[in-house]
Structure 1
Amino acid sequence: MSRIYTWVCCFVALMPGWAAAQPAVGAATPIEAVQRFHEALKSSDPETAILQLAPDLVVFETGFAEAHPRAYADNNLALDLAFAVVTDRRIVEQVERVEDKIAWVLTRSELTSKPGTDPIALRQTETMILRQYADGWKIAHIHWSAHPFERD
């Protein structure tokens, strides 16, 4: 009996911390899903990044297309994680539009290298189309485009 009591006490004691560490699967708003995705990239957390993606995700980037979350995870996610770690992202403009269970978030940002890394200065446009599921908003399409700019 004392062994069961010990296990129950450990479970109850650890449960709040574990539950707090687990992100909700779907986001409450489209902007929240986009923010979670970028925060996951910045913190090198591929699992949380993937949780923000719809099962029929399509990613367009520099003329290439990834037509499934698994294809994106297998081919480009590691590069996007590594890039996010060495750059700072400053949002210049962000617009959200929601119509029923479909939304889009359009973002213009500046990506610059962190000190001590190779120089990077890019202006990026990002289009994310999201779909609302029973558990929240998920990203169904990502389109990234960027070009260099001169830093001050």
Structure 2
Amino acid sequence: MKTYIIAIFTAALLGVAGPASAHESAHPEAPGSPAGIVDAFAAALDAGDTAALSALMAPDIQIAESGGIERSLEEYRSHHMGADIEFSKAVETKVLSRHVFEGEGLATVMTEAVSTGTFRGKDVNSRLMETMVLKQTDGDWKIVHIHWSSAKISEGDSH
């Protein structure tokens, strides 16, 4: 958050949150834990730290959003990492809930958040669902899959 970059820009113009890792958690997670890696990803987006972002992701990461997919870190870096950073810096994203499912060398971190602010001159008030799958390799967790989904929040929305 197309064709990925086109989709994020289109979503932003429609007032829907584009790609942004859920951040501003009330309880930061332990560094190095799966949820801590998700927090570090959000912090790197906010800081515009492309080296830190790259270090957190596996080379063969799959990133899905708005019906599109990027099939590697290199593809993400060359297509829309910059737009994700720009979006993350422009809006405030507040984590509403986070669930971590961890097993033998794999973890899934599901986050629900709300993003508000202005991006490229358009108001953003949207709900974000983020799923990150992490794989433990040589003792370190790496993000191997991200799926971002967002929807504009309308007056009277109950969820």
**How would you bin the TM-score normalised by the shorter chain?**
0.7 to 0.9
Which TM-score applies when normalising by structure 1? 0.77
Query: CA shift at 1:150, angstroms?
Result: 3.2
Matched, 1:92 2:66: no
Larger radius of gyration: 1
Aligned pair count reads: 126
User: What 5-or-longer segments of structure 2 have no aligned partner?
Assistant: 1-30
Matched residue of 1:120: which SS?
strand
Matched, 1:123 2:127: yes
2:77 aligned to 73, 78, 86, which one? 73
Relative to structure 1, is the Cα distance of residues 135 and 92 closer, same or farther in structure 2, using a 3 angstrom cutoff?
A: same
1:36 partner letter:
A
1:46 partner letter:
T
Matched residue of 1:47: which SS?
helix
Matched, 1:60 2:64: yes
Which whole-Å deviations, capped at 9, do the CAs of 1:20-66 have from their partners, x for residues lacking one?
Answer: xxxxxxx6210111111110001111111111001220000111100
Counterpart CA distance in 1 for 2:100 and 2:155 is 28
Matched, 1:105 2:119: no
Structure-1 residue corresponding to 2:48: 44
Matched, 1:29 2:15: no
Matched residue of 1:124: which SS?
strand
Q: Which has the higher contact order (CA 8 A, sep 6+)?
A: 2
User: What 5-or-longer segments of structure 1 have no aligned partner?
Assistant: 1-26
Structure-1 residue corresponding to 2:12: none
Which whole-Å deviations, capped at 9, do the CAs of 1:82-128 have from their partners, x for residues lacking one?
Answer: 0000000100110001101000000000000169x631111010010
Is the helix fraction higher in 1 or 2?
Answer: 1
Identity over aligned pairs, percent: 26
Which TM-score applies when normalising by structure 2? 0.74
1:140 aligned to 125, 140, 144, which one? 144
CA contact (8 A) 1:88 1:114 kept: no
